[in-house]
Structure 1
């Protein structure tokens, strides 16, 4: 591919802008750890919401969606669309609770809710387990996508891509803190959406595609367009719809879709001006993430079936690429090679922006765990604010290096997705109930974490064996992991003592005040179901407009608007 001077100017201009933002806010961000990790808790809902969306628009996300479509069809996206239920649960039940807590990271919750040395151990261990292990696996998947894009579009080696892509994001993450991340996320989200929509329009106009109508009428494409699976085929229905909607959404911990909120979503809520801003930020995120953003990727994924009908055609198009990298998720960057000068520069910048927005958030979030929940809590409790910021910056660089190294041994985005799902299987219900069920204690969480990890490790090794010990499909492995882990942590909860009564009373007073924990549950449930139905109807309305089914699309749009009115009503419940 030939990159024109105009393309390079566009790319360089935005990279300079991102670096400038980080350096510009570095003085304010570096004054103390609160400013570095929470931007002084004065961020508006719209900036936080856009940042959440930008973060979940990683460089590997379009690749992942395109790969899912080529393998399973549009309805294959239910494996992540199902997490909307998790997101709406956070909006209506947990966003205000997180903001009320006043903590710096969601791991600080452990010593707010639980008591004793076990609570301290859990906080410190999770800081390493999530902030380092999980975080690096996620970032490695994002780096893998960047490697594939870099090779396909620039002919760069893996090392060259990583050495080019990493420094700028490390600069503004390490210097600008969360505020630098939020501001760059805002710019990056706009670029990413403009780039993906514009690229979609251009690709549809290619002679090989012949427009949207011709694309959708192509037999191989038409077979992939259904938004719901065939209900008469259990081999498709169970793994792609029933398991995600009946089991996965409430039982699995996954970054960005944690049951009860957590991770960088909790960080954004904790950085909000107040509880109202935390709630609206999370609501906007779920609407934009699930309803507005996927369709450009879906259309390009469908178009790739025409240009590259199988893996062999992808390999033939890129003969110099390591065959291990030639999977269905390569189809998205492969389609972008057809873009003209100017537009190519914008799209490349949008992919760089997508890479940076996700990596920067995970770097800041992971370093917040390392500083607040490990270093300042256990290593140097008397560390000054300046020292904490310095450690945060050092850990930012270190995690980027480790993620880059791990990315060199991964092969496909979906592999990482499935691995993370299996490791977190069965822990989700605990995170939902721990705010309300007083018997849950640190040993409950330790048991859930250990059991789910051991089961995931067993199946991971089992699946790599030439003669597996257990012959079981992936979705049943997930269900087994959920059942065993859930039963295990509930038993541990019932046979161990709850946390100290004074700790529980202090927690309840801070979070719920003098009111009942369950006050306003009816309106919250109304908001939850309205949010779920409204966003799914918006998603399908857009899809049906694209498919030319205008009547159905308008009907779904009306339902979306009615659901929006019910959501507003639910927010106006008596204080």
Structure 2
């Protein structure tokens, strides 16, 4: 079903409102780089939290969830649900530390935590690596989903649809910087959530589905409803639940779920008006991201199994769409185009465009902040004026968008990009957790981990392409050993994590730590406390410098970890309670809801014990 006149009017009104908000919020954005990239460090928690969740709610997210559900059922979402542990750790331990650092970007952290030319090189290299190459890949994967939505619902060619959306994104993000993005995110997230819940309702109540209970009892769906994967399916159980919960959440670096915080999440925390606002923003983000949003996408993904049971049926239904774009994740826009009525279809398309643009706007602003603050102003033009920095920021915004559009046209599906990004960040996550609390971590640690993760990931990919033989039925053979493809993926991930971790641990002990002056300044500014800094405090005292303060005697990280666990219990309980209510299983739904309420109460009491400024 293509859009009708009323749908186009709704989309046009959406764009007008969006651009108006972006323009009105752009006041003072050009005064300085701090205003352009961190909104003058004056933003409230609720606005920052909504912006975080809007950024992670891209148009590729429902496609990714649909892909997971179609292939491995609802339980497959543990591949990203496990990152809640990382998110809650950031809320109660790292949010206040980031806000306390007062850096402009998280890469600037390198030169307040580490010393010497290696720290400077690491900052500059990661500015290009993350700000340009990695960021382009993230934006391209998001753009891929937009291409599929445009092909199904707008009737436009991929290139034309993407170019139009890219121009709008570049306009308002380049005009007002982060402040414009924050306020447009608030509008876009509201529209996106209305679209997601409304789409799930229209799909499930359609005659072809026959209501929620008919959907859940359908033979093509009933076997996909488990919230925990079947332990008897050992390969799936390990890959979907055990590895993500035991290893992935702390070992892998992934945008929006970086261990210890980072990327655009750190950018929002640095923009908060206080440590409490930084913590509140990150907590709101995690609640919305994991407890509120998943179920509408899951419901549509399950329904798609009835209408489009396989990829072949999708390609038959959409013969005019290039076959490379029709994978399992294509089922989400396919369902919307088939079942949404005139008018609401326009609103949902607007919501998906909103999701796309909120993510891309944040990504280009974040990537641009690296290229400007951590490369241009640090290495190319140290005397750059604030106006020059803003100008270069706008130029880099356009450049990032241009190359992202080109890459998007060669990708195939969202899950492909998700798995690749997990691989190249495997083994680095623990460093981002430890570097705040263990003085011995140095610039060589991070540099070696980044290089090792890339090298070992490439080695496994080459091994897979050159020596792996697919024997059928999901089985593969490698050097005479037969195993399932799922187990092979586990071996790849854990292999990269183990090898990378071994490299950076050895390098850490073989290379000198940061200078005493750098370590003491960092401790004085951040006040991390804990046994990991004992050696630095003792050495400083021998030099006549007393780093210890009375507050340091009450190290609150254990309390923060307790808050993290309570927060996880609360969010997971609400997530499961919602699922069981939808499944019509009242007793477990009430039990999980009660668990969530109790955990939330205990969290509110425990949180008050944390030290904040």
Q: TM-score, normalised by structure 1?
A: 0.98
The one-character-per-residue Cα deviations of 1:264-316 (angstroms, maximum 9, x if unpaired) are 00000000010000001101111110111000000000000111011111010
Q: In the alignment, which residue of structure 2 is the partner of 1:208? A: 208
Q: In the alignment, which residue of structure 2 is the partner of 1:483? A: 498
Q: Contact between 1:370 and 1:395, CA under 8 Å: does it hold in 2?
A: yes
CA distance in 1, matches of 2:439, 2:455: 27
Residue 23 of structure 1: how far off its partner (Å): 2.3
Q: Against the structure 1 CA distance between its residues 467 and 569, is the aligned structure 2 distance closer, same or farther, given a 3 Å change threshold?
A: closer
RMSD (Å), alpha carbons: 1.3
Q: In the alignment, which residue of structure 2 is the partner of 1:104? A: 104
478-487 or 228-237, which moves further after superposition? 228-237
Counterparts of 1:260-299 in structure 2 under 5 Å?
260-299=260-299
Q: In the alignment, which residue of structure 2 is the partner of 1:339? A: 340
CA distance in 1, matches of 2:14, 2:301: 27
Q: Against the structure 1 CA distance between its residues 478 and 35, is the aligned structure 2 distance closer, same or farther, given a 3 Å change threshold?
A: same
Residue 517 of structure 1: how far off its partner (Å): 8.3
Q: Contact between 1:422 and 1:481, CA under 8 Å: does it hold in 2?
A: yes
Q: In the alignment, which residue of structure 2 is the partner of 1:405? A: 406
Counterparts of 1:245-264 in structure 2 under 5 Å?
245-264=245-264
The one-character-per-residue Cα deviations of 1:157-200 (angstroms, maximum 9, x if unpaired) are 22112122111111011001000000010001000000010111
Q: In the alignment, which residue of structure 2 is the partner of 1:55? A: 55
1:504 to 495, 519, 543: 519
Q: Contact between 2:563 and 2:606, CA under 8 Å: does it hold in 1?
A: yes
Q: In the alignment, which residue of structure 2 is the partner of 1:396? A: 397
Q: Helix, strand or coil: the match of 1:107? A: coil
CA distance in 1, matches of 2:603, 2:285: 15
Q: In the alignment, which residue of structure 2 is the partner of 1:358? A: 359
Q: Against the structure 1 CA distance between its residues 191 and 517, is the aligned structure 2 distance closer, same or farther, given a 3 Å change threshold?
A: farther
Residue 523 of structure 1: how far off its partner (Å): 1.7
Aligned length: 575
Q: Against the structure 1 CA distance between its residues 508 and 473, is the aligned structure 2 distance closer, same or farther, given a 3 Å change threshold?
A: same
Residue 460 of structure 1: how far off its partner (Å): 2.4
Gaps of 5+ in 2: 470-477, 482-486, 528-547
CA distance in 2, matches of 1:457, 1:207: 48
Residue 26 of structure 1: how far off its partner (Å): 2.8
1:473 to 485, 488, 513: 488
Q: Helix, strand or coil: the match of 2:166? A: helix
Q: In the alignment, which residue of structure 2 is the partner of 1:134? A: 134
Confirm or deny that 1:306 pairs with 2:342.
no
Residue 464 of structure 1: how far off its partner (Å): 3.0
CA distance in 1, matches of 2:238, 2:610: 41
Confirm or deny that 1:188 pairs with 2:188.
yes
Confirm or deny that 1:540 pairs with 2:541.
no
The one-character-per-residue Cα deviations of 1:220-244 (angstroms, maximum 9, x if unpaired) are 1011111100112211111010110
Q: Contact between 2:127 and 2:371, CA under 8 Å: does it hold in 1?
A: yes
Q: In the alignment, which residue of structure 1 is the partner of 2:175? A: 175
Q: In the alignment, which residue of structure 2 is the partner of 1:519? A: 555
Residue 18 of structure 1: how far off its partner (Å): 1.5
Q: In the alignment, which residue of structure 1 is the partner of 2:608? A: 572
Q: Helix, strand or coil: the match of 1:381? A: coil
Q: TM-score, normalised by structure 2?
A: 0.92
Q: In the alignment, which residue of structure 1 is the partner of 2:71? A: 71
Residue 466 of structure 1: how far off its partner (Å): 6.5
Residue 574 of structure 1: how far off its partner (Å): 6.3
Confirm or deny that 1:552 pairs with 2:567.
no
CA distance in 2, matches of 1:352, 1:224: 29
Residue 258 of structure 1: how far off its partner (Å): 0.2
Q: In the alignment, which residue of structure 2 is the partner of 1:26? A: 26
CA distance in 1, matches of 2:41, 2:443: 28
